[in-house]
Amino acid sequence: MPEPNNRELLQDIANGNALALRTLYGRISGRVYNTALSYVQNEADAEEITQDVFTKIWRSAGSFKAESQVTTWVYRITVNTSLTALKKRERRGLFSALSAQEKEVPDFHHPNAVMEDRETSRALFSAIYRLPDRQKTAFVLSYVEELPRQQVAEVMNLSLKAIESLLMRAKKGLRNGLTTDYPNRGNATAK
């Protein structure tokens, strides 16, 4: 008997099948965790968000309209849950004394980061963290999660042109942020 596809699993989840939820979790929880980690940059928070996402899937599987891929729907839930977690973190005042430009550089290793230099990885993810939410989402989904641009557009409910514009602004913001934080870094190789 062939493995059920994600839509069939979601339909089974909507009917209360916990085994279907475990199967879907096994298939995509790594992507959910990696995406959440790109936002919150804290492993424990990313694990909590992953659990929250699958709780939401369990509760709202029946509302999936099959107008997009299941993974697109799950990414949308993950992005929204991650952004909500960041807003809650800010409201709690964990970073109230720090301006957006002075937030601590995260000290974690992202599973999708292929950079051998941990300092470079930390600097990049710190700069990503400071991007506006929509730019951050477009960048993370496109370059960290490596989703096709069309799927990013579907996750964000935006046009492909809007995604390209967000990505251009995100890259410019990252370039400016990294140049400001590390002014001499690029000059060493330019000589």
- Reading the block at residue 80, the tokens are 């929204």
Confidence at residue 109, expressed as pLDDT on a 0 to 100 scale: 57
Contacts of residue 6, defined as CB under 8 A and 6 or more positions apart, other chains included, come to 24, 27, 28, 69, 70, 71
C-alpha 144/C-alpha 137 separation (Å) is 10
To the nearest whole number, what is the mean pLDDT of the chain?
85
**Is residue 96 included in any domain, yes or no?**
yes
Average pLDDT over residues 17-42: 95
In a domain, 177, yes or no: yes
H helical segments located in 15-110: 18-40, 43-60, 70-91
Confidence of residue 172 (pLDDT cuts 50, 70, 90): very high
User: Based on the structure, what is the number of domains in the chain?
Assistant: 1
Compute CA distances 97 → 38, 94, 102, 127, whole Å: 23, 8, 9, 19
Q: Would the pTM count as exceeding 0.85?
A: no
In this structure, what CATH number is given to the domain that contains residue 109? 1.10.1740.10
Domain assignment of residue 84, yes or no: yes
Q: Examine residue 190 and state whether it is found in any structural domain, yes or no.
A: no
User: Residue 106: inside a domain, yes or no?
Assistant: yes
6-14 vs 18-40: helix crossing angle, rounded to 10: 110
Range name among 72-81, 109-118, 164-173, 176-185 with the lowest pLDDT average: 109-118
Is 45 among the domain residues?
yes
> Is there a domain that residue 64 lies in?
yes
Residue span of the structural domain in which 171 resides: 6-185
Distance from C-alpha of 24 to C-alpha of 5, rounded to nearest angstrom: 9
DSSP-based helix, strand, coil % in the chain, nearest 5: 70, 0, 30
Q: What tens digit of pLDDT does each residue of 126-142 get?
A: 888 889 999 999 999 99
Residues 104-119: what's their mean pLDDT? 58
